[in-house]
């Protein structure tokens, strides 16, 4: 019988008026409906990382516990100055060994037409060094303000496309998660 897979869905920013939280909550809701999947929603605003690095005093043990438990990660990042937010980097940097041999998928978010593709491309470099294993494609939310309403509900004319793309990406993420779980 298949074991349950735990997916940590990570929101990429702490900005008070962030739009990307609509996309990350949508991804988390989508994943939570998949059979055999448990979702942990990770909001960097809920954690505290004093200083930089991954020394014991720079960690938040609650984040470490989630990273240890997760079999897979899904990071939803907005694009800030052609990269990803500093709060996401700070949180990712606080752990290291616990990421090893676990897959990660990405979604990019922007209020313009590029969908955060440069944020995801920058994230690839950083994440590779952590030991997380990346997939070969991503999902993008360009013009995020046109995809979700003010309550974070996806507009009906967008639903089919995002369900299809997320379905394909989660198929791949969960395949890798199950494979890697057998060798950890």
Ligand X SMILES: Cc1cc2nc3c(=O)[nH]c(=O)nc-3n(C[C@H](O)[C@H](O)[C@H](O)COP(=O)(O)O)c2cc1C
Contacting positions for ligand X (CB under 6 A): 13, 15, 18-20, 78-82, 109-112, 114, 144
Cβ nearer to ligand X, comparing 81 with 182:
81
- SS3 string, the chain, reads CCCCEEEEEEECCCCCCCCHHHHHHHHHHHHHCCCCEEEEEECHHHCCCCCCCCCHHHCCHHHHHHHHHCCEEEEEEECECCECCHHHHHHHHCCCHHHCCEEEEEEEECCCCCCCHHHHHHHHHHHHHHCEEECCCCEEECCHHHCECCCCCECHHHHHHHHHHHHHHHHHHHHHHHHHHHHC
Least distance from C-beta 51 to ligand X, angstroms?
22
Angstrom distance (rounded) from CA 35 to CA 4: 9
Cβ nearer to ligand X, comparing 114 with 180:
114
Least distance from C-beta 46 to ligand X, angstroms?
16
* CB-based contact 12:78 (threshold 8 Å): yes
Cβ nearer to ligand X, comparing 103 with 116:
116
Cβ nearer to ligand X, comparing 88 with 169:
88
Least distance from C-beta 43 to ligand X, angstroms?
12
Least distance from C-beta 116 to ligand X, angstroms?
7
Cβ nearer to ligand X, comparing 101 with 118:
118
Angstrom distance (rounded) from CA 92 to CA 60: 11
Least distance from C-beta 144 to ligand X, angstroms?
5
């Amino acid at each position: 019988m298949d074991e349950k897979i735990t997916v940590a869905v990570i929101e990429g920013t702490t900005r008070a008026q962030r739009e990307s939280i609509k996309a990350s909550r949508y991804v988390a809701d989508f994943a939570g409906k998949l059979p055999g999947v448990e979702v942990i929603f990770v909001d960097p605003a809920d954690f505290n990382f004093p200083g930089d690095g991954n020394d014991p005093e720079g960690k938040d043990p609650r984040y470490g516990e989630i990273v240890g438990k997760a079999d897979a990660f899904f990071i939803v990042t907005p694009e800030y100055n052609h990269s990803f937010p500093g709060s996401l980097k700070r949180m990712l940097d606080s752990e290291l060994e616990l990421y090893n041999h676990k897959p990660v998928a990405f979604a990019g978010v922007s209020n313009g037409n590029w969908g955060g593709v440069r944020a995801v491309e920058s994230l690839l470099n950083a994440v590779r060094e952590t030991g997380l294993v990346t997939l070969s494609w991503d999902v993008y939310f360009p013009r995020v303000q046109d995809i979700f309403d003010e309550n974070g509900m996806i507009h009906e004319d967008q639903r089919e496309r995002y369900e299809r793309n997320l379905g394909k990406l989660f198929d791949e993420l969960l395949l890798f998660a199950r494979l890697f779980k057998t060798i950890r």
